Chains A and B, each alone.
Chain A
Amino acid sequence: MSKITKEWKHVNEDGSYTVRTCGWSPPGDHPVGCGMKLHVKGGKLVKVEGDPDHPISQGRLCIRCLTLPEFVHHPQRITTPMKRAPENRGKDIWQKISWDEAWDIIVPKIKEFKKKYGAESIVVFGGTGRQACLYYYPLGFASIGTPNVCYPWSGWSCYGPRCSITDYILGAGYPEIDFAGTYPDRYDNPNYVVPKWIMQWGKNPLMSNPDGFFGHSLIDLLKRGTELIQIDPRMTWLGTRSKYVCQLRPGTDTALALAFINVIINEELYDKDFVENWCYGFDELKERAQEYSPEKVADITWVPAQKIREVARFMATEKPGAIQWGLAVDENPNGVQLGHAILSLCAITGNLDVPGGITMGPPAALLGKWRMETRRNLSPELWDKRIGAKEWPALSTAMATTHPDETLDTLETGKPYKLRMGWFNSSNFITPTCSAQPDRWYRALKSLEFNVVQDLFMTPTAMAFADVFLPLPTFAEADGVVVTHFGRNAVFLGAINEALRVGDTKSDIEVCIELGKKLHPDMWQFDSVDDFFTKQLKPELGIDFNDLREQFIYQPKYEYRKFETGKLRSDGEPGFNTVTGMVELTSTLFEAWGEDALPYFQEPPYSPVSTPELFKEYPFVLTTGARKFTSFHSEHRQISTLREIDPYNEMEIHPDAAAKLGIIDGDWVMMENMFGKCKAKAKLTPIIHPQVVHSTHGWWYPEKPGEEPSLFGVWESNINTLIPHKHIGKLGFGCPAKQMICKVYRIEEGV
């Protein structure tokens, strides 16, 4: 446990002061928790500076936190509650109200819907990554009392699939590369071993800082001798600093993973001891892998057979090493099999839960108890009404939400029952972030009778639907905790300390408690936010919220090889917390749910191979969603320093492909397929295959008219209109956001 005993708030003689804090969101970010000092003068946040004493970020900050003052004091921020008459939805006609007035509108509405139609007629939508991820579930379950909490991305294609697969195959929390995050002295700790190699599979953490992993840790490790391997359709900057790059055809990842397994098993390079003692179903996996020879897979993936062999040999013979899996695992209807194959690779190379390998969280999430317990508020009958739960057991067993695609179907058809009220918590999902066919969602959501939106700015989603707008504070403006990896394999827990408050806002937890006390007071016996956090921290860690503030960061002790010591299983026996007690190379659960027990490759739903006729018309493979340093999904578009760096939605195209289409660098182009179209500025670059294009996501234009039909230009550069609805895997996970097809043509006008 690290102890940094320095005051968390320092007041200067002139009344200005400095607050130490850890960053989360909003503004948008994953729970990375970088350390920083916020300087406040005359009631204004005047400066942000990285805190060099923070063990992970060490003073470094990315530009999203460096521009925090611009965000906090932005003239377009909404800092008081507002209401709008339902007939004025889509119009910029708002009336400022007090929080009491807001509650006086919201609370009777909720009571009325619950009484007339049942609590299930209310649906809470949550976005991705933000602090809200810890709170929108309890908001739904325990404050409002509905079982319908929805993350709307088709196939739940973000983090959820990876967590579920890990649960089913390893019976553990989230697997993450060992970057010495739990050690106060980091890479110098004697228990730590620098990995020989780290493979980024469909992941570029420098920009994305995924799930709480501080992306530039990769640079720290690169300097310490770690070799990097990239599995990516693009030659990324990290690729240019890597030992190997497998530039594969988007969506063919599972074939590649199976080819690695083929080589490692057939050349007897696998960790025999680990396989014999801790793995279930090895012989079946070996047999399955025979179908994926490097030659055959080279044809499928475009990665040369010789390179597949070399990479496989390197992975199996150099120890320790680690694979970091990315969003590309989730955004793939064949992704469950990909995740299964990747975890199998981690296991048979003997890299699970060893120093410098892949760390695994304990079965229970850090600070997860309360989150789980809020479900107690729902009767089993009510819980059974959760949309899509029965139809998709593999998804609903691991995820406490509705099935996203079923939710859209329910909105459109009124079956199995009509949804009446929506609550949008930090989710701007008609902007191309986490919904497929956002135009369909947009039309379907119009059927809701009453909507509440919580956000910081007027977004296209809020402009379209909100009847009541509840303003959120940034992380500089409210107390909280940041727990990396959402607690599933946390390297630390950090204090978020309120430095100032702009306007009349309430944080997620403040809203949960206030609304909860009005509707389900027995679930919310906390006097204050402080009291709430203390009651979470004390039983688990023995410290209260003030201790955490002083201490700044709490790093839990990490134990390796937990499968030997019984720390992975609830019964305390050695092994893994799975049905067989082992790593399930052959999955008993997948089989029970009617899926193949072993990983297999399936062509993307639309591709040169599966739809050759369509591909003639739409001759590019389209992949979307790679990040930039300047934004988190749809956020930050109005922050001028960031917008100056990345002014527009950008698509990457190979110069040869562009030349054939008469496109030059900086031209405006349209990407279009049978589902939709999207404008972007062309960036000619050789890092992408001539048959592939990439588009950034999350674009809207805060400078454009907000009222309908424009909605801040949300339909002009909306890449998710090209992604189909419900093209998901057999178990309900995965959508084809990274492997669609499209055509590209030059257009005269931009935005």
Chain B
Amino acid sequence: MSRNGLLIDYQYCTGCHSCEVACRNEHNIPRGKWGIKLTEVGPWQVEGDKWEWNYVPVPTTLCDLCEDRVKAGEKPTCVHHCLGQCMEYGPVEELAKKMAGKGKKVVMFAP
């Protein structure tokens, strides 16, 4: 059976924290812990008006890829609520194919 993963096109991740909080709600994760956690790279100036400033949410060991939701035919809750609509769920092979068609700021996690 193929492995599933999360694809994040972080060109469009606005750092809104919805994935973090939706995941925590779904899995009753207590304060101080997270199923997925935002990281921030930057901001710094590259040159002129070009800046590096990225948010990338990273799934933790508490992430079960929303097993129960997926079984019930739903999307993982982080994907469902993502304000930037920059997350996708699916088999890693399919996601890898999709990655090729995206810009430079794209990452896949297979937690």
Q: Is the CB of B51 within 8 A of A235?
A: yes
Q: Is the CB of A66 within 8 A of B44?
A: no
Which residue on B lies nearest to A223, using beta carbons? B12
The proximity string for B residues 1-39 relative to A, scoring 1 for CB distances below 8 Å and 0 otherwise, is 000000000011011111011101100000110000000
B66 proximal to A (CB < 8 A): no
Q: Is the CB of A237 within 8 A of B80?
A: no
Contacts of B61 in A (CB 8 A): none
| Distance of A244 Cα from B83 Cα, bound (Å) | 23
**Interface-forming stretch among A381-389, A638-646, A743-751?**
A638-646
A11 proximal to B (CB < 8 A): no
Contacts of A244 in B (CB 8 A): 49
Selected from A206, A241, A640, the residue in CB contact (under 8 A) with B11 is: A241
Q: Is the CB of B25 within 8 A of A47?
A: yes
A61 proximal to B (CB < 8 A): yes
Selected from B15, B20, B43, the residue in CB contact (under 8 A) with A687 is: B43
| Count of inter-chain pairs, beta carbons less than 8 A | 89
The proximity string for A residues 46-65 relative to B, scoring 1 for CB distances below 8 Å and 0 otherwise, is 01111010000011111100
Which residue on B lies nearest to A58, using beta carbons? B85
| Distance of A50 Cα from B21 Cα, bound (Å) | 13
Q: Is the CB of A245 within 8 A of B49?
A: yes
Selected from A63, A240, A640, the residue in CB contact (under 8 A) with B51 is: A240
* Majority-rule SS of A interface residues: mixed
In this complex, how many residues of chain B approach chain A with their Cβ under 8 Å: the count is 31
Q: Is the CB of B31 within 8 A of A641?
A: yes
Contacts of B25 in A (CB 8 A): 47-48, 66, 69
Contacts of B24 in A (CB 8 A): 641
Contacts of B85 in A (CB 8 A): 58, 60, 216, 219-220
Expressed in whole angstroms, the minimum distance between the Cβ of A643 and any Cβ of chain B is 10
A685 proximal to B (CB < 8 A): yes
Contacts of A52 in B (CB 8 A): 80
Q: Is the CB of B18 within 8 A of A63?
A: yes
| Distance of A240 Cα from B40 Cα, bound (Å) | 14
| Distance of A98 Cα from B68 Cα, bound (Å) | 45
Selected from A69, A219, A686, the residue in CB contact (under 8 A) with B45 is: A686
Q: Is the CB of B51 within 8 A of A60?
A: no
Expressed in whole angstroms, the minimum distance between the Cβ of A71 and any Cβ of chain B is 13
B90 proximal to A (CB < 8 A): no
Q: Is the CB of B43 within 8 A of A240?
A: yes
A626 proximal to B (CB < 8 A): no
The proximity string for B residues 67-110 relative to A, scoring 1 for CB distances below 8 Å and 0 otherwise, is 00000000001001111111000000000000000000000000
Interface of A toward B, CB cutoff 8 Å: 47-50, 52, 58-63, 66-67, 69, 206, 216, 219-220, 222-223, 235, 237, 239-241, 244-245, 629-630, 640-641, 644-645, 685-687
Interface of B toward A, CB cutoff 8 Å: 11-12, 14-18, 20-22, 24-25, 31-32, 42-45, 49, 51-53, 55, 77, 80-86
